[in-house]
Amino acid sequence: MTDNARARKLADRIQVVVAETLDRRIKDPRLGFVTITDARVTGDLREATVFYTVYGDDEERAASAAALESAKGVLRSEVGRQTGVRFTPSLAFVPDALPDNARTIEDLLDKARAKDAEVREVSTGAKYAGDADPYRKPEDEDDEADAPSEKDAPSEKDAPSEKDAPSEKNEGPASA
């Protein structure tokens, strides 16, 4: 078995080789604007999955998929020649779902923006359910400053009790 770092390096190299070969050597008219987005190699380096996207409609995507399948042998031999591995991995081309996912996320974000705008329109003339300032304030500040409040006066709970007071009999250092 091989380590994952070697598989990742080989996958990166396969991505570059396939992209360059598609650009320079493959002259199939069915091949549209193809972008190689990612490549993954299995742990035993025997199979490689190449992800691609096609700019265009469904007909152009289908035509590009057929062109990639027909050029698979040329691409595999070029990968084997440029990578120099003992066994050239077999190539499988898979359309990447990234553009579809991005389109779905954009649609969801547009819906959220529309809902936010709707809420903003509804809330423009709205008032709070209670007072504008929900905190209580003293009605007359002069009366509060002159009279001691309940917080300032000591309560019975705060006063020391007889239980808490030190007794002279049992506590303290013994004097002889």
For 122-137, the pLDDT digits (tens) are 888 777 777 667 787 7
Name which of 62-66, 73-77, 145-149 the model is least confident about: 145-149
Dihedral sign (CA 164, 169, 170, 171) = positive
For residues 78 and 21, is the Cβ–Cβ distance under 8 A?
yes
- Report pLDDT for 170: 55
- Report pLDDT for 92: 93
Q: Which two tokens stand for residue 47?
A: 């199979």
34 beta partners: 54
- pLDDT grade, residue 142 (50/70/90)? low
- Report pLDDT for 99: 77
Q: Distance between CA atoms of 32 and 57, rounded to whole angstroms? A: 10
Q: Distance between CA atoms of 123 and 155, rounded to whole angstroms? A: 48
